[in-house]
Amino acid sequence: MMSSTSKAYLVGGGIGSLAAAAFLVRDGGMPGSNISILEAGPIMGGSLDGSGDAERGYSMRGGRMLTTDNYECTWELFKSIPSLAKPGLTVFEETLAFNEVHVSHARARLVDARRAKVPVASMGFSMHDRLELLKLSSADESTLGTTRITDHLSPAFFETEFWFMWATTFAFQPWHSAVEFRRYLHRFMLEFSRIETLAGVKRTVLNQYDSLVVPLQRWLESQGVRLITDCTVTDLDHHTVDGRFAVTGLHCTLKGRSETMLLGDGDLVFVQNGSMTDASSLGSMSEAPAKRTRAPNGAWTLWEKLADGRPSFGRPAVFNSCVAQSNWASFTVTLKDTAFFDQMQRFSGNEAGTGGLDTFKDSNWLMSIVLAHQPHFANQPADVQVFWGYGLFPDRVGNFVAKPMADCSGAEILQELCGHLRFDLDVMASANCIPCRMPYITSMFMPRAPGDRPPPVPPGTRNFAFISQFVEVPLDTVFTVEFSVRAAQIAVYELLGLDRKVPPVTPHDHSFHARFEALLKAIK
Ligand SMILES: Cc1cc2nc3c(=O)[nH]c(=O)nc-3n(C[C@H](O)[C@H](O)[C@H](O)COP(=O)(O)OP(=O)(O)OC[C@H]3O[C@@H](n4cnc5c(N)ncnc54)[C@H](O)[C@@H]3O)c2cc1C
């Protein structure tokens, strides 16, 4: 049992662990100084990154969309975290106020090969598409099993405007899990009816590292939480107490040296098993990102060791065995003159920060870009602009560059982008484009069966939990910040035996069938 001297060790420094540390302090009353977060990388935040400066160029692997109709645990947490930029406000209040002023209303959500903005008021469904979608959304997860989206929807569905918008908003591929696709339809039902404008999407004031990770990290530091970087946990010592798995020690490589941390009775361990950004790599204007595969001591290794011979700890191989089905590429562009933003804002009809996503639906790479409100980085000078983009098919040869996106330098990606927009390459004269390859970015969407993901606190464990995108959390959807924060809250409340409720997943799909059917009828 936990006592006043109990310590907590969090393996991995992603938003899941940072959130867990905050719940341990805020709700569990654990002194911050008893909590250590051990992160393999040089900074905290994991996949929720954003770094750089105007000279070297900015880089972020992702640009995240959030909502306030969902993300219950995330906002409940950030209602307790003070804003750094707006003293007196919480991060939640600061974000809400920002979104009241900067409202998403995409006017160029899809752009076709003729450079025409595709009318998207119609989703492009046939009656057949509607019936198939209704059937898939009504099916039980147990019936869907490990099937893929293509097992339920006919080829024509993947040509509808709906699919292009849904797939590029949430990064689904036709071969991904039917169970997860169905969960998204239910969880983000409100987005279904406004997917063409992305009106429900909420943005953070700056990139998510500056706006979410940094304030949370500062609050944890002020509570005395120990944030330890360059520390890879390579193995756990454990024994069995009362028939239950109990961790007794951690082996790690701390700044290049092997260390062992011994646990006392009542100490707790939380492990981030797997990561969507494991083995990701950055390129430059002149070089494509290196094609890395799983790092020997990367985010999957510890989970693989722990799950070996222990079925209740899940099956990592279900998620990390096929890079061809789980990879895509993104890029971040730093500009020192306004030519590109000026032309893009004129073309799209959206001021930066109001457009959501612009997708080039006929592009071989299925390329999209997002012009966020500026500045997008805390240290961004006023005369610098930054935007982010991605391609869901980096293995295909481009339309304007005769190379797969995965083999392209930043300069070549900009050439492809200008090709689709029919912009002279001069608009990129000052640009620094940093491409990023992410081999496991949609590994969470791989078809899965019950048991492939362990629950946050696996049965038969005593002082141990998993916090990640690879745990089973009923009703919630992966590839979201919310999923990791929810997993953290569940894990902390359960291990501490707290008599507090984790905020439930909001039932926007209440009487789902009636509402969904009505929506499908209403939507042409
Ligand atoms: C391109 C992209 C776009 C995205 N878009 C959205 C979006 O629109 N909306 C949204 O809500 N979310 C989005 N996300 C997802 C969101 O960022 C992630 O779900 C979330 O950040 C995952 O957090 P995590 O803490 O679970 O894992 P991670 O951030 O992956 O953190 C895991 C950490 O654990 C460390 N680690 C693992 N094993 C060990 C070990 N043995 N020893 C030490 N350290 C270890 C890793 O180094 C890593 O830092 C996006 C992410 C990306 C990359």
- Residue corresponding to tokens 């990290």: 217
**Euclidean distance between CA atoms 275 and 255, whole angstroms:** 21
**Could you tell which of 48, 258, 388, 440 is best to mutate to test the pocket of ligand 1, judged by most ligand atoms within 8 Å of the CB?**
48
pLDDT at 236 over 90: yes
Residue 478 CA: nearest ligand 1 atom is 19
Of 215-224, 228-237, 466-475, 501-510, the one with minimum mean pLDDT is: 501-510
Do 324 and 395 contact (CB within 8 A), yes or no?
yes
pLDDT band for 362, please (50, 70, 90 cuts): very high
Max CA separation in the chain (angstroms): 70
Query: For residue 233, which phi and psi values (nearest 5 degrees)?
Result: -85, 120
DSSP letter (8 states) at residue 326: H
**Euclidean distance between CA atoms 467 and 492, whole angstroms:** 10
Cα 396 → chain centroid: 24
**Euclidean distance between CA atoms 488 and 503, whole angstroms:** 12
Single-letter amino acid code for the residue at 420: H
pLDDT at 509: 67
**Could you tell which of 202, 233, 250, 276 is best to mutate to test the pocket of ligand 1, judged by most ligand atoms within 8 Å of the CB?**
276
pLDDT at 298 over 90: no
Torsion angle of C-alpha atoms 519, 520, 522, 524, degrees rounded to 10 = 140
Residue 47 CA: nearest ligand 1 atom is 29
pLDDT at 513: 62
**Euclidean distance between CA atoms 268 and 247, whole angstroms:** 8
Percent of the chain with pLDDT over 90: 89
Percent of the chain with pLDDT over 70: 97
pLDDT at 241: 84
Is 16 close to ligand 1, i.e. is its CB under 6 Å away? Answer: yes
pLDDT band for 523, please (50, 70, 90 cuts): low
Torsion angle of C-alpha atoms 235, 26, 504, 443, degrees rounded to 10 = -30
- How far apart are the CA of 387 and the centre of ligand 1, in A? 21
Residue 302 CA: nearest ligand 1 atom is 41
- Strand pairing partners for 262? 249
Residue nearest to atom 31 of ligand 1 (CA): 14
Number of H helices, E strands in the chain: 17, 17
Residue nearest to atom 20 of ligand 1 (CA): 481
- How far apart are the CA of 66 and the centre of ligand 1, in A? 15
pLDDT at 191: 82
Is 30 close to ligand 1, i.e. is its CB under 6 Å away? Answer: no
Is 205 close to ligand 1, i.e. is its CB under 6 Å away? Answer: no
Is 47 close to ligand 1, i.e. is its CB under 6 Å away? Answer: yes
Beta strands in 336-423, from DSSP E residues, in sequence order: 358-360, 367-370, 385-391
Residue 483 CA: nearest ligand 1 atom is 19
Is 473 close to ligand 1, i.e. is its CB under 6 Å away? Answer: no
Is 466 close to ligand 1, i.e. is its CB under 6 Å away? Answer: no
Average pLDDT of the chain, as a whole number: 95
- How far apart are the CA of 317 and the centre of ligand 1, in A? 18
Q: What is the mean pLDDT of residues 436-461?
A: 97
Number of Cα atoms under 13 Å in the Cβ half of residue 200: 15
pLDDT at 194 over 90: no
pLDDT at 200: 87
Nearest to 374 by CA among 344, 349, 340, 341: 341
**Span 309-334, pLDDT tens digits:** 999 999 999 999 999 999 999 999 99
Number of Cα atoms under 13 Å in the Cβ half of residue 497: 6
- Alpha helix stretches (DSSP H) within 253-366: 301-307, 317-320, 323-326, 339-348
- How far apart are the CA of 275 and the centre of ligand 1, in A? 6
pLDDT at 130: 93
pLDDT at 1: 61
Is 330 close to ligand 1, i.e. is its CB under 6 Å away? Answer: yes
| 169-184 burial code (b ≥16 CB/10 A, e <16) | bbbbbebbbbbbbbbb
pLDDT band for 4, please (50, 70, 90 cuts): confident
**Span 367-398, pLDDT tens digits:** 999 999 999 999 999 999 999 999 999 999 99
Nearest to 47 by CA among 273, 228, 280: 280
Nearest to 348 by CA among 108, 185, 144, 124: 108
- How far apart are the CA of 296 and the centre of ligand 1, in A? 18
Radius of gyration of the chain (CA): 23
- Strand pairing partners for 66? 202
The continuous run of DSSP H or E covering 371 comes out as none
pLDDT at 514: 62
**Euclidean distance between CA atoms 234 and 299, whole angstroms:** 10
| 194-211 burial code (b ≥16 CB/10 A, e <16) | ebbbbebbbbbbbbbbbb
Residue nearest to atom 27 of ligand 1 (CA): 14
Is 232 close to ligand 1, i.e. is its CB under 6 Å away? Answer: yes
Nearest to 475 by CA among 464, 460, 490: 490
**Span 108-139, pLDDT tens digits:** 999 999 999 999 888 899 999 999 999 999 99
Residue 61 CA: nearest ligand 1 atom is 1
Sign of CA dihedral 304, 308, 312, 317: positive
Query: For residue 79, which phi and psi values (nearest 5 degrees)?
Result: -75, -15
Residue 297 CA: nearest ligand 1 atom is 41
**Euclidean distance between CA atoms 77 and 450, whole angstroms:** 29
Q: What is the mean pLDDT of residues 98-108?
A: 93
What's the whole-model pTM score? 0.96
**Could you tell which of 64, 273, 282 is best to mutate to test the pocket of ligand 1, judged by most ligand atoms within 8 Å of the CB?**
64
Is 302 close to ligand 1, i.e. is its CB under 6 Å away? Answer: yes
Q: What is the mean pLDDT of residues 443-455?
A: 98
- Strand pairing partners for 35? 8
3 state SS of 59:
strand
Q: What is the mean pLDDT of residues 152-171?
A: 96
